[in-house]
Structure 1
Amino acid sequence: MSTPFPRPSTPPLLASGQSSPIPPNEHGLGWPAKSTVSRLNATAEERAEREKKIAGAVRTILECIGEDPDREGLQRTPERYAQAVMWMTKGYEERLSDVLNNAIFAEDHDEMVLVRDIDISSLCEHHLVPFTGKIAIAYIPGQNQLVLGLSKLARIAETFSRRLQVQERLTKQIAIAVQEAINPRGVAVVMEATHLCMTMRGVQKPGSITVTSCMLGCFRTQQKTREEFLTLVKGR
């Protein structure tokens, strides 16, 4: 998988004067999709036209399932859905450099940093229905002793979850984004989620939980470090 930030020849400087390992790409986006840049740079008129097209498609869906899109309860549903789905996928418009907002600091800390129980909601790209759950993100600072502002770990998770996703890719994208941001010794991400495409349709198994993980660096190569992380995640 490609990294979210192709590295430039001259990385930006931190407030401390150190050279930051986070290099923004041309648009500052992580893994932009085919139409991401055009959405990012859309004018107000173009955004209105996008919502109009979505609303038209939703009206067609209502007709196809046997509903009357002109009845009172559904008259504004196409427009409401268009606005809602644009908000639920706003991660396509968020630049990771803006998300981090220079909250990268040099600290004399070489032990694990863990933020757990981060609530996320996303849309399954296979059925366009939600999946929700919690994420734990941990890293161990590298030789550069750089740490992230704690809220930025949650913001990174939020950015990638506000796109059409599969849980496996979401987990890995978060881990690689943290790795690229501060170049730590290792990054670990574990996600537990419930998918409505499993509980409302298909096998219809309410209560089923899907668990995915991504281990990079020392979390992958050192069993003791990995076990410490998993123990802390489970110690709720």
Structure 2
Amino acid sequence: MPHCSQGSRRCAVATENQVERAGVGASTHTCALPNSFGINCEDESTRNAPRRLARVLHRLPNGTGRNPKRHLRITFPSVGEPRLIIATGITFTSVCEHHVLPFSGHATVGCLPSPGAFVIGISKLARIVREYAARPQTQERIGEQVVAALVDCLDVQGAGCVLRASHVCMARPRGARAQGAHVTTEHLRGAFSYDAALRDCLFDAEAVR
């Protein structure tokens, strides 16, 4: 088996072990929370619920401590004139840092390379969105971090990101209880901030996703 596959498998096993230890260690605390609301965590069907909850909470911010910009280090020579690159339908899930509840949605990310600049593989756009999302976040910050990474790490004329997400904290247990509502945020840098044609391309791509 190739070394990289073995390394990936060891990493996956180590991560699962960390999650399992987190579930065991935090289950006492996660049991106290539902108990405080009168939910019994000691009968047959709910006995393992605190441990499961602890494992879920451990996985949600699993991007904390990672640097998504590392995905932008591998580039390739461009071909021909600079072309607008747009990736649509990038799914992501994050956890609201204000309410510790999930929000999820889709991202549309675009960048316009400078003439003669190297370009990244298109999958890296999805990777940076998902890694910035995989930590306690706000939707606005995710979008700003994505475009900042593209502008800081690549030779581009501009970058743009549109995020559309539904927030559990808005839809169900509290506040407006706005079932089916979505929040859309737009994040523009460089040429995208002043070139209406570029913005239209980005927004049109997001609209037909």
Q: TM-score, normalised by structure 1?
A: 0.74
What is residue 76 of structure 2 aligned with on the other side?
105
> Secondary structure of the residue that 2:143 maps to in structure 1?
helix
Instruction: Give yes or no for the alignment of 1:217 onto 2:194.
Output: no
Structure 1: how far apart are the matches of 2:163 and 2:147?
A: 11
Q: Structure 1 residues 49 and 147 mapped into 2: Cα distance closer, same or farther (>3 Å)?
A: same
**Structure 2 equivalent of residue 34 of structure 1:** none
CA 1:121–1:66 in structure 2 vs 1: closer, same or farther (change >3 Å)? same
The answer as to 2:122 corresponding to 1:150 is: yes
Distance 2:202 2:18 in 1: 46
Q: What is the aligned counterpart of 1:169 among 123, 133, 141?
A: 141
Contact 1:103 1:152 (C-alpha < 8 Å) held by counterparts: no
Kept in 1: contact 2:19–2:55 (CA 8 A): no
Is the CA contact (8 Å cut-off) linking 2:92 and 2:129 kept in structure 1?
yes
Task: Give the secondary structure class of the aligned counterpart of 2:186.
Answer: strand
Secondary structure, counterpart of 1:158 in structure 2: helix
State the Cα RMSD in Å: 2.4
Distance 1:113 1:61, change over 3 A: same
User: Aligned residues, how many?
Assistant: 194
Distance in 2, Cα, partners of 1:205 & 1:96: 32
In the alignment, is the contact (CA less than 8 A) between 2:94 and 2:104 conserved in 1? yes
Q: In the alignment, is the contact (CA less than 8 A) between 1:146 and 1:184 conserved in 2?
A: no
1:68 aligns with 2:33: no
On the 8 A contact 1:120/1:132 being kept in 2, the answer is yes
Q: 1:73 to 1:215 in 2, by over 3 A?
A: same
Q: Deviations over 1:142-174 (max 9, x none)?
A: 245121111111111110111111111111111
Quote the Cα distance in structure 1 between the aligned partners of 2:124 and 2:139. Answer: 20
Task: Look up the equivalent residue of 1:212 and give its one-letter code.
Answer: T
Q: Are residue 80 (structure 1) and residue 71 (structure 2) matched?
A: no
Secondary structure, aligned partner of 1:66: coil
Looking at structure 1, the residues matched to 201 and 168 of structure 2 have their Cα atoms a distance apart, in angstroms, of 32
The CA deviation string for residues 42-89 of structure 1, in whole angstroms up to 9 with x for no partner, is x99987765444322211102111112211222112222222222221
The structure 2 residue matched to 1:131, chosen from 82, 98, 103, is 103
Query: What is the aligned-residue identity percentage?
Result: 25
Task: Report the residue type matching 2:183 in the other structure.
Answer: T
Q: Distance in 1 between matches of 2:186 and 2:70?
A: 26
1 or 2, which has the higher helix percentage? 2
Q: Distance in 2 between matches of 1:112 and 1:228?
A: 9
Unaligned ranges ≥5, structure 1:
1-42
For residues 227 and 45 of structure 1, do their structure 2 counterparts lie closer, same or farther at Cα, with a shift above 3 Å needed? closer
1:205 alignment partner, SS class? coil
* 1: CA distance, partners of 2:152 / 2:51: 38
Instruction: Find the aligned partners of 2:150 and 2:83 in 1 and give their Cα distance.
Output: 16
Structure 2 CA distance, aligned partners of 1:210 and 1:44? 33
